[in-house]
Amino acid sequence: MAEHSARHCCLGWDFSTQQVKVVAVDAELNVFYEDSVHFDRDLPEFRTQGGVHVHEDGLTVTSPVLMWVQQHGSVYWKAGANQVLMSLTPDLLLREQLQACFSISDSPVWMDSSTTAQCRQLEATVGGAQALSSLTGSRAYERFTGNQIAKIYQKNPEAYSRTERISLVSSFAASLFLGSYSPIDHSDGSGMNLLQIQDKVWSQACLGACAPGLEEKLGQPVPSCSVVGAISSYFVQRYGFPAGCKVVAFTGDNPASLAGMRLEEGDIAVSLGTSDTLFLWLQEPMPALEGHIFCNPVDPQHYMALLCFKNGSLMREKIRDESASRSWSEFSKALRSTELGNGGNLGFYFDVMEITPEIIGRHRFNAENHEVSAFPWDVEIRALIEGQFMAKKIHAEGLGYRVMPKTKILATGGASHNKDILQVLADVFGAPVYVIDTANSACVGSAYRAFHGLAAGTNMPFSEVVKLAPNPRLAATPTPGAFQVYEALLQRYAVLEQRVLTQTRRPSE
Ligand SMILES: Nc1ncnc2c1ncn2[C@@H]1O[C@H](COP(=O)(O)OP(=O)(O)O)[C@@H](O)[C@H]1O
Ligand SMILES: O=C(CO)[C@@H](O)[C@H](O)COP(=O)(O)O
């Protein structure tokens, strides 16, 4: 570290599901340091699996707030906590000093799907699912913070009334660095079912439908490139941060990844982390009943579209463990030795209730569309990966997205290290796949956003700030003939998805 100590840099942080990651980016936009703390491995005392605790109902999913954490989780600060944050002593760990600062110790995270009742209430209050989507960018989603807050208020009104501030994980993490409450930024704030994405103010109707006195507990949202203040003296005295170091508003992992991949209009980004997400840059928002529209994190006039798939890397790991002796190289071998289109076999693998679409369970179909109970091990692996990417293409097209001759797919996240998985992505989408040098695009994007925030007073556009950044590298091109194979298979997948959806609908629906 000594040789880096005098280097002017921005740090980008990613508080994700399974770990906290950091990168340091210098003024020439080179990443010169990366590190991470993996919750299961490095903090075993919290006894998490994949970074979370799944409760007995199978729907409630939380993380210990003292450990933590990542986007679409919420943090409930107890009355008096800001005072504690402002007077932290550098002699003690944050964990020791913040123990008594939270009114809820197990914070709901993005994997939680236990707030269906609150979702229906919110939609009913504002005139239906499409009305809510037009206002906030999304119909009601279980993991979105407004619905999570409504559940906490209904189930635990005392804890709610003891709460003086509610943060997202992003603004919570910024608050730690700031030494006082940091505001929520417009882009991550769009994932709450509470923010009017056009006017960028809280919706009074939505706030009122979720819980009383909520506006005061949330504070006013700010543009994503705002400098929210100077670093807390705690980090200066304990960890040697320079006193002049500024904190730029933290945002969600997907908006940060959009910045890290320097997405351009027409491109499509696919993040293969704990969750799989897909996002696009949009000029005109067209909120619908599926997917989300967020305020754009680097251009306040524009938007981004986002789809989130819950059964991402953890599902791939399960099938790897069951069918490929816990080895990614065996897993890859299966992808290389099976044919494109998998002989017509296809499958749906949703061990936890999926978000897009709302299906649970494993469902396998042979070439005659008959449901079968098992596939040979290598067919199973190809069915999983082809199915995951076919779902992404079909649902992206549902948002109005079309692959154009110039389309690039930008892949990121842990599984983007696997070139055989990227080959299937290129084949299913019929477009070339590019990667950036680090799979940590959310971290890198956060550091780029910090440079943008520092330059914001000069009105410099984000594209100008990051023009020196390294270009993405080509990782896979579509195999000749892939288009014809998947054209037919995609149609079958869409029909079978509808069939499974109808057969497995939740009883309450
Ligand atoms: N070679 C590989 N092939 C497929 N998946 C991989 C490979 N290496 C890592 N992964 C997956 O990457 C995941 C972590 O991705 P990451 O983007 O770091 O997640 P998060 O940011 O949500 O913590 C792991 O759960 C693992 O399944
Ligand atoms: O909820 C969403 C997006 O809406 C997820 O993308 C989470 O933000 C999880 O992030 P990772 O841990 O997979 O990076």
The string of pLDDT tens digits covering residues 177-195 is 999 999 999 999 999 999 9
pLDDT at 399: 82
- 3-class SS of residue 298: coil
Could you identify the atom of ligand 2 that is nearest to the CA of residue 413? 14
- Give 314's pLDDT tier (boundaries 50, 70, 90): very high
Q: How far is CA 95 from CA 41, 64, 67, 102, 297, in A?
A: 18, 12, 8, 12, 30
Q: Do strands 9-15 and 74-78 pair parallel, antiparallel, or not at all (unpaired)?
A: unpaired
pTM score, whole prediction: 0.93
Question: Which residues, judged by CB distance below 6 Å to any ligand atom, belong to the binding site of ligand 1?
Answer: 16-19, 273-274, 313, 316-317, 328, 413-415, 417-418, 421
Clarify whether residues 201 and 304 are in a common domain: no
Read off the DSSP letter of residue 344. G
Radius of gyration of the chain (CA): 22
190 lines ligand 2 (CB under 6 A): no
Q: Are residues 256 and 276 in the same domain?
A: yes
Q: Is the pLDDT of residue 5 over 70?
A: no
Ligand number, closest to the Cα atom of 254: 2
Clarify whether residues 292 and 309 are in a common domain.
yes
Q: State ipTM.
A: 0.97
Helix (H) or strand (E) holding 445: helix 441-455
Residue 72 pLDDT: 77
CATH code of the domain in which 402 resides: 3.30.420.40
Q: Are 383 and 364 in contact (CB under 8 A)?
A: yes
The pLDDT of residue 507? 52
Is there a contact between 431 and 408 (Cβ–Cβ < 8 Å)?
yes
**Do both 318 and 246 map to the same domain?**
no
Do 260 and 397 belong together in one domain? Answer: yes
What average pLDDT score do residues 249-277 get?
93
271 CA: nearest ligand 1 atom: 17
Domain end, chosen from 225, 251, 277, is at 251
Q: Are 132 and 236 in a shared domain?
A: yes
The total number of structural domains that make up the chain: 2
Are both 64 and 77 inside the same structural domain?
Answer: yes
315 and 271 inside one domain: yes
Spatial distance between the Cα atoms of 21 and 11, rounded to a whole number of angstroms: 10
Q: What is the pLDDT, as a whole number, of residue 437?
A: 80
Question: Which ligand is closest in space to the CA of residue 294?
Answer: 2
Pocket test for ligand 2, best of 63, 168, 253, 292 (most atoms within 8 A of CB): 253
Residues 449, 443 contacting (CB under 8 angstroms): no
52 beta partners: 49
Residue range 202-248, pLDDT digits in tens: 999 999 999 999 999 999 999 999 999 999 999 999 999 999 999 99
d(CA 494, CA 352): 20
CA distances 37 to 98, 315, 382, 395, Å, are 19, 22, 32, 33
Tell me what the pLDDT averaged over the chain comes to. Answer: 94
Residue identified by tokens 């990121």 is 412
Number of residues written out for the chain: 509
End position of a domain, from candidates 220, 235, 251: 251
CA of 369 to the centre of ligand 2 (A): 33
Q: Residue 413 Cα, ligand 1 centroid: separation in angstroms?
A: 6
Residue 133 and residue 45 in one domain: yes
Whether residue 34 is found in the same domain as residue 171 = yes
Residue pLDDT, tens place only, 276-312: 999 999 888 889 999 999 999 999 999 999 999 999 9
User: Which is the closest atom of ligand 2 to the Cα of 253?
Assistant: 8
For residue 28 the two structure tokens come to 């020439």
Q: Is 133 in the pocket of ligand 2 (CB under 6 A)?
A: no
Which residue's C-alpha comes closest to atom 15 of ligand 1?
A: 414
Whole-angstrom Cα distance, residue 308 to residue 287? 15
Cβ pair 111, 61 in contact under 8 A: yes
Q: What is the DSSP letter of 46?
A: G
Residues 54 and 198 in one domain: yes
Residue ranges making up the domain that contains 386: 252-509
What long-range pairs does 451-458 form, CB within 8 A, spacing at least 24? 451/10, 451/25, 451/29, 452/225, 452/248, 452/259, 452/298, 453/225, 453/226, 453/227, 453/246, 453/248, 453/249, 454/10, 454/227, 454/246, 454/248, 456/225, 456/226, 456/227
Q: Which ligand is nearest to the CA of 413?
A: 1
Is residue 503 within a helix (H) or strand (E), and if so which, with residue range?
Answer: helix 482-504
- Is residue 96 pLDDT above 50, yes or no? yes
71 class by beta-carbon count within 10 Å (0-12 exposed, 13-18 middle, 19+ buried): buried
Residues 268 and 231 in one domain: no
Q: End-to-end alpha-carbon separation of the chain, Å?
A: 56
The three-point CA angle 365-371-376 to 5° equals: 60
198: its two tokens: 């056009």
Rounded Cα distance between 313 and 4, Å, is: 34
Q: Which of 222, 251, 280 is the last residue of a domain?
A: 251
pLDDT value for 109: 95
Cα(304) to ligand 2 centroid in Å equals: 15
pLDDT band at 1 (very low <50, low <70, confident <90, very high): very low
Q: Is the CB of 112 under 6 A from ligand 2?
A: no
pLDDT of residue 509: 46
